Structure formats: structure tokens, C-alpha cells
Amino acid sequence: MGVLTSVKAGAAAVALMALAAVPAAAQPQKTLKVVVHADLKVLDVTANTTYITNRYGYQVYDTLFALNSKYEPQPQMVESWSVTPDQLSWTFKLRPGLVFHDGQKVTSADVIASIKRWMIRDSMGVNLAPAVASFEAVDADTFRILLKEPFPLILDALGKPGTPAYIIPERIVSVPTTEMITASVGSGPFIMKRDEWRPGHRVVYVKNPAYVPRKEAPDYLSGGKVVHLDRVEWLYIPDQNTALNAFLGGEVDFYELPPLDFITMLKSNPDVRTLVVDPLGVSQHIRPNSLYPPFDNYKARQALLYLASQEEYNQAVVGNPDLYMRFCGTFFMCGSENETDAGAIRKPDLAKAKALLAEAGYKGEPIVVLQPTDRPQYLATTMVMVEKLREIGVKVDLQAADWSTISIRRARKDAPEKGGWNIFVTGHGGTDATTPISNFWIGSGCGKGNAGWPCDMKLQELIAAWGREPDRAKRKAMMPAIQMQAYESVPYISTGQFVQPVAFRKNVTGVLAAGMPVYWNIDKK
């Protein structure tokens, strides 16, 4: 790949040896050891959009609906639902047997409180919120959502995969939104072992004996979440060569995010299997901070569009052209029904980038760029971008940290010179990135929404209108105008789209193509 983490292998190796030193008799019968892509530091699934926190959420929580492999919302915690002919009153009944990890029954009050908090921050929730008149707890198992106006994508919103409306106990989720949720009490298929959580090293989950799976076969994120494992251990090993050696040596069973330059070698190993769990793939992007100069000016954000070609980024990040697209000009994932190339910029132009920065008022001030030390793909993109910025005369202040630390820092609205930032690189993918109202990076609500806080009320109005339109064909016809406006205000800059396989030992079976790594249905021989 050309750019790997600078974190030394020593600490990771010591951690791995310490884990191996635990007596075999102390381990449950079936333990799956997983190398995860980042350190889990934030447990608040309502406030953090990082993949690691979201994947933690799917371990310990459950959702009202979930998508199948056709990207259709299917009931998950819901047993049945109905809607009035005017589409303004939606009634939902919870299925029996839903119990939180502390033994308390899941009730309508828990559901309503969870949805209310989710609507404050999630992009799809934010679009749903203006249409909601009220919530009603009909009884302990039944709740109703009353709308002011029809919202045709309400089930899609409740079943979205990334940052979904996880159902959390009312007493926990009702804290002020200024406070982070630190408890880990859900009703999902796994229970987090807080007493064994070692930030910077390991997260442990055990099978939830009280969880009642649905009867349907698993399909993407929907259906029965049948757990065959007794225990899942997430291991954070920031040095990729140490992680690879642990995996190839059989000390680790599942490699969640192997660097893409490892994939050819892993595929040739008879003891290893690889699987693309998300056929839509991943889109990486550059996220500028729209609150502070120079990127509070749209021309400075436009300048980032001209720094490098997607081919340059993809060669640094992926290398193997079989795994990436030569060019993808949409904000909504190539291969999705909402793909459009309207307004797309294909060729870099450093002179134009420099001129746009000057028009935005840039005079050589330091630009704080967050450099992830433990995410090889993000790091590779960051370094290509930094090189190009320096070529056009930008003074770059490169500040290195692990990804979990960056995910906390990026949420701060402080000025760059006071602990904030100007640019970081991140990514998204799957179905959440395919629509204007679910793509949480395109939301431009002027200080609201995800880190970066772009401001473009015209784009927001176009997105809101798309979400209110019930006709699918008409929604598709609205996409070019939305994308043209996004290329004008530039909430982020896509650097390319590629697929990311997971890898696992051949004695591991039942790995699902669920759009993300999930650990139900998996067995270990």
C-alpha cells in the first residue's frame, strides 16, 4: 500500500502475548478472537458515527426494523404494524420476549425515548423529526407515531443500518444530549463484559442467554440473530504486521479490516477465507471543517476537489485495481439506484485549486490535518492529500493520533489553533450512503449534524423535498439537482470507491454478508 501505520509493533505484541497467557481452561468452549480496525472508546451510539461504535451497537442492542439483502426494511423487534389510509398514524406492536440485559422488559416507553434521542443527531432522524406530531405509548408493547404530514420513508428510517435507532432503556437514553451515554445495557444478542473491557486492548462480549431470535433465516441485517459462540473478543492491534502474523499464526480467528495490499496473499492461503460483506463497498472522503477559515468559504472547499485524481488516491489506498473503481463521481455510491455523475469533476487541476484557495482568502495560515496512525487506508489518503496541499503552497500542521482519539477530537467545535481541526479523512459505505437523507456526511444544517458542520440551506431544502416525495421515480429524477448543489457547496470530497473484504480462518463458518461484520450466525469448529 506504500503507507502503513507508524505505531510500533512492540506494545501490540506484548498485549497479544498477555492474552495468549490466559489459561485455556478459563476460556469458554467457543471463543472468536477478532482483530478490529479501531479501539472502542465511545459507547454512546446516539452521538458517535464511527464504525467501531456502530458495530459495538449491533452487538449489544437491537433495532425495530432491519434491512434485507434487497435493502427492504423488515421487522426486527416489531411483531406487527399498521398505518392509517392518510399515512399519518403508524402503530407498532413489539414482539414478545424482548428483555434488556439487566432483566427489565423492553417497553414502548423505552422505544419512544430511544427514537426521540436518535432523531436529534441522525441524518435520517433529523429529516423525519419535522414530520412528527407526537408519540403515544398505547400500552407496554404498543406505540404509535403520529405525523403532521406523510413521511414515505419512515420504515426505511427506522431500519437504516448505520447509526440506527438502537433501543436503549428509557432511564439511560433520557439523559440530556449534552451528556454521553456510558452504560451498556441493550436487548441484543451479545452482552458486553464491562469488567473485562480494556480500552486500547480488548473488548469482550458473551452470548445473551435471554435473547430470543426471530424465526426467519438471517438475510443481510434482518432475520434471526442466532448466536453459536459463547464469547467474542475484539482485539485492538494497531500495527498491521503484528495483526497479520497473529491471524496467520492462528492466534486470531477473524480479521475485520485487513489492509488491501494483504488481500491477494490472504486469498492464496488455504487456511484462510475472504468475503466481501458489503457489495456496494466503501467511499473514502476528505472532510473539511466549515466553521473556520479557510473552509468556511465554499471556494476553499471546492479547491480540494482539484487536488488529485481518484486514481491517485486509490493507487495509494488500494493498489489492486480489481478492488477499486477507476472513477466514481456520485455522492451516493456508484452501483446504487441513486447514482448520478451530475457535476462530477474528473481531472485534478493544482493551479485551479491554488486560485480557489486564494479567492477564499487563504494567506498561508497553518491548516490542521488530523493524521490517523492506525487506519492504513485513511492514512494513505491523508498523505496523498497533504502532499498535494503542500504543492500548492498550503502550510500543513499534521497532527497524528489513533483513530479513536481522532473520532473524539473531530466532534469538538474549537478553533483549529485551540485544539480543533481543519481537515480529516474518513469514509462511509453501504446503503446509508446511497440516499440524500441517510447520507450523514452530506447533511448541511449549518452547525448541526456530523463533524464538519457544513452550511447550505438550499441543499438541505432539496434533501428534505426528496424525503417527502412518495414516488420513487420522481425521487430519482431529483437526484441530479441535489448533487449539482452538493458540488457547489462541497460538504466533503470523495476520493474513490472500493470493496473491503474481511478475512477469517477456515474453521470459522456462517459469516454473513450483512454490509458490515456481525457475529451472530458464526460458528467455530
User: What integer is the mean pLDDT of 52-73?
Assistant: 96
| pTM to 2 decimal places | 0.86
> Between vectors from CA 522 to CA 62 and to CA 507, what angle results, nearest 5°?
165
Q: Is the pLDDT of residue 17 over 60?
A: no
Alpha-carbon span 39 to 33, nearest angstrom: 15
CB 477 within 8 A of CB 193: no
pLDDT value at position 393?
A: 97
Q: Is the pLDDT of residue 174 over 60?
A: yes
Specify if 1 maps to a domain. no
CB 173 within 8 A of CB 119: no
Tally of CB atoms within 10 A around 496: 27
pLDDT value at position 457?
A: 95
Specify if 370 maps to a domain. yes
Q: Is the pLDDT of residue 27 over 80?
A: no
Claim to verify: residue 213 and residue 305 sit in the same structural domain: no
Last residue of a domain, one of 173, 196, 219: 173
pLDDT value at position 124?
A: 92
CB 270 within 8 A of CB 506: yes
Claim to verify: residue 306 and residue 439 sit in the same structural domain: yes
Claim to verify: residue 123 and residue 195 sit in the same structural domain: no
Cα 208 off chain centre by:
24
* Locus of grid cell 456520485: 330
Claim to verify: residue 69 and residue 39 sit in the same structural domain: no
Claim to verify: residue 325 and residue 365 sit in the same structural domain: yes
pLDDT in tens, 348-389: 999 999 999 999 999 999 999 999 999 989 999 999 999 999
Claim to verify: residue 81 and residue 120 sit in the same structural domain: yes
Alpha-carbon span 49 to 56, nearest angstrom: 11
pLDDT value at position 28?
A: 58
Nearest residue to 279 (alpha-carbon basis) of 31, 452, 69, 495? 69
pLDDT class of 12 with cuts at 50, 70, 90: very low
User: What integer is the mean pLDDT of 416-424?
Assistant: 97
Alpha-carbon span 31 to 505, nearest angstrom: 13
CB 235 within 8 A of CB 35: yes
CA-CA-CA-CA torsion sign (239, 245, 247, 251): negative
Claim to verify: residue 367 and residue 475 sit in the same structural domain: yes
Q: Is the pLDDT of residue 128 over 80?
A: yes
What is the domain range of residue 111? 65-173
pLDDT value at position 522?
A: 98
pLDDT class of 301 with cuts at 50, 70, 90: very high
Specify if 405 maps to a domain. yes
Domain containing 393 — which CATH number?
A: 3.10.105.10
Claim to verify: residue 309 and residue 445 sit in the same structural domain: yes
Domain containing 39 — which CATH number?
A: 3.40.190.10
pLDDT value at position 15?
A: 38
Q: Is the pLDDT of residue 47 over 50?
A: yes
Specify if 229 maps to a domain. yes
pLDDT class of 447 with cuts at 50, 70, 90: confident
Question: 506 or 13, which is more confident?
Answer: 506
Q: Is the pLDDT of residue 20 over 70?
A: no
User: What integer is the mean pLDDT of 109-116?
Assistant: 98
Last residue of a domain, one of 122, 148, 173: 173
Alpha-carbon span 269 to 254, nearest angstrom: 14
Q: Sort residue 275 into left (φ over 0), alpha (ψ -120 to 50) or beta.
A: beta
Burial of 55 (0-12, 13-18, 19+ CB in 10 A): buried
pLDDT value at position 177?
A: 86
Q: Is the pLDDT of residue 10 over 90?
A: no
Question: 154 or 10, which is more confident?
Answer: 154
Claim to verify: residue 196 and residue 92 sit in the same structural domain: no
* Locus of grid cell 436518535: 118
Claim to verify: residue 443 and residue 301 sit in the same structural domain: yes
Main-chain phi, psi angles of 173, to 5 degrees: -80, -15
Specify if 505 maps to a domain. yes
Specify if 17 maps to a domain. no
Q: Is the pLDDT of residue 6 over 80?
A: no
Encoded amino acid at 281, one letter: G
Q: Is the pLDDT of residue 156 over 60?
A: yes
pLDDT class of 26 with cuts at 50, 70, 90: low
Mean model confidence pLDDT for the chain: 93
Claim to verify: residue 333 and residue 460 sit in the same structural domain: yes
pLDDT class of 84 with cuts at 50, 70, 90: very high
CB 383 within 8 A of CB 21: no
Claim to verify: residue 402 and residue 489 sit in the same structural domain: yes
Mapped onto helix, strand or coil, the DSSP state of residue 18 is helix
Specify if 14 maps to a domain. no
pLDDT class of 483 with cuts at 50, 70, 90: very high
Specify if 18 maps to a domain. no
Nearest residue to 348 (alpha-carbon basis) of 395, 392, 287? 392
pLDDT class of 76 with cuts at 50, 70, 90: very high
Q: How many domains does the chain have?
A: 3
Encoded amino acid at 277, one letter: V
Q: Is the pLDDT of residue 454 over 70?
A: yes
Q: Is the pLDDT of residue 294 over 80?
A: yes
Domain containing 89 — which CATH number?
A: 3.90.76.10
